Homo-oligomer: A and B are copies of this chain.
Amino acid sequence: MKISALAHEAGLPVATVKYYLREGLLPAGEATSATQARYDDRHLHRLRVIRALVEVAGLPLARAKQVLAAVDEPGPDPYAAVARAVEALPPYAEPADPACPRATALLEQHGLDVGVGSTALTQLEVALRGLEAAGRPLDPEAAGRYLADIRSMAEREVASVGRDPGASLPGVVEDVVLGTTLIEPVILAMRRVMHQALYRERTERSRPGHEADTLSP
């Protein structure tokens, strides 16, 4: 298809598609003349990934490039490729203490190992420090319960990645990146919605006359 059809299919202005081409996020199409090129479904797919990163996750273009480089050239080690891609995702947290003592202690206590230099570990450290600074440190028991709920979620997610035996490594890296970045807002919104629904139930139950309403005819 021509660039105009590609842009239409992707729901983007042609100028935006050209911009992504110039910036190297979208690979060039197959030249059909000096000024025209043909694009296919792989380009459309790539545009959807770019939109997810730039418009939904709000990545700066340089970070989006870093993610796409890990997708396109994953290298021999799948774990390293996935880690490189996920590390380019926000939030971009700087730990006050690079040893991440709170996060490291918590993971050790639960037999989890993420290796050194993990961005996720830094994010966890910063988040735990934030609670401490507000005078509400997370006690080890509560942290363990959060980890258990999140483990249930993460085990399903990790098991589903690359389950297709024909899945290429770039496909796996892309899966993980989009799974991380697009599911995060779903999880947070579901938690707030669930809070509202549960408070609502509780408020209804505690309203005077509620029992009378339901018990008497």
- Chain A residues within 8 Å of B, Cβ to Cβ: 11, 45, 48-49, 51-52, 56, 77-79, 82-83, 86, 91, 103, 107, 112-115, 118-121, 123-124, 126-128, 130-131, 133-136, 138, 145-147, 149-158, 176, 178, 180, 182-200, 202-203
CB distance from A124 to the nearest CB of B (A): 4
**Are B150 and A187 closer than 8 Å at their CB atoms?**
yes
A127 vs B48: C-alpha distance when bound (angstroms): 15
**Are A123 and B203 closer than 8 Å at their CB atoms?**
no
A197 vs B118: C-alpha distance when bound (angstroms): 10
A181 vs B114: C-alpha distance when bound (angstroms): 25
Q: Which residue of B86, B145, B182 is within 8 Å of A134 (Cβ)?
A: B182
**Given A112-B194, A202-B158, are A123 and B82 neighbors across the interface (CB < 8 Å)?**
no
**Given A188-B184, A193-B103, are A79 and B199 neighbors across the interface (CB < 8 Å)?**
yes
**Given A83-B196, A150-B194, A197-B114, are A134 and B178 neighbors across the interface (CB < 8 Å)?**
yes
Q: Which residue of the partner chain B has the closest CB to A112? A: B197
Q: Which residue of B11, B127, B193, B200 is within 8 Å of A185 (Cβ)?
A: B127
**Given A187-B146, A190-B146, A196-B118, are A45 and B153 neighbors across the interface (CB < 8 Å)?**
no
**Are B198 and A154 closer than 8 Å at their CB atoms?**
yes
Contacts of A200 in B (CB 8 A): 79, 113-115
**Are A203 and B78 closer than 8 Å at their CB atoms?**
yes
27 contacts between A and B (CB under 8 A): A45-B135, A51-B133, A51-B134, A79-B200, A83-B196, A86-B192, A86-B196, A103-B189, A107-B193, A114-B200, A120-B192, A120-B196, A121-B193, A123-B185, A123-B192, A127-B189, A131-B183, A131-B186, A147-B194, A149-B152, A150-B191, A154-B191, A154-B195, A158-B198, A158-B202, A187-B187, A187-B188
